[in-house]
Amino acid sequence: MALVNYGTKEITFKLVYYGTGLGGKTTNLKVIHSQLSPQTRGELVSLATETERTLFFDFMPLDLGTINGFKARISMYTVPGQEEYNKSRKLILRDVDGIVFVADSNVTRNEENHISLNNMMENLKEYKLTLEDIPWVLQYNKRDLTTAMTVERMEQELNHLKVPAFEAIALDGKGVFATLKAITKMMLQRAKGED
């Protein structure tokens, strides 16, 4: 559930980008950060390895303005894609309000997409959550690859719950904001339903 501070009249949603290593999670945050005005976004903090792979997480706050008298913002995180950092992945999911699962469209990454999605579901169980309990969307990234799977195949293999899914080429910014807009709307609707 969103963090509500009645003293300061602030509400903060936690959004996590989850998926395989090198699938485009960090690229999504970099694109969002680069295209928003400094007044609406905070600093992008990235803890990366020497090979530019995310080690622990990326973090960026995003100001949504005022909603029902509360200053609203989203704290956006990515998880490390590498399996050896599962403890970090699990910790980042604590108190999550929404998830963007970034699936790599490359046919050679199909199994990794499944492993990562199953890993996410297992890690949510740690907090007594299932994918039915939380707003989430799928992003089919790297649609420009010649080895990209068809959207129909990705839908059939990954979207068993029929959540909103978006095609993206995160490097070019395509689909990044459509994905963000959809998950933000879902988180806000859920918060209004819990009032």
**CATH number for the domain formed by residue range(s) 3-194:** 3.40.50.300
Q: What pLDDT does 46 receive?
A: 67
Q: Where are the domains of the chain?
A: 3-194
Mean pLDDT lowest among 41-45, 121-125, 187-191? 41-45
**47 pLDDT band (50/70/90 cuts)?**
low
Kindly report the pTM of this predicted structure.
Answer: 0.91
Contact 140, 105 (CB under 8 A): yes
The 8-class DSSP code of residue 89 comes to H
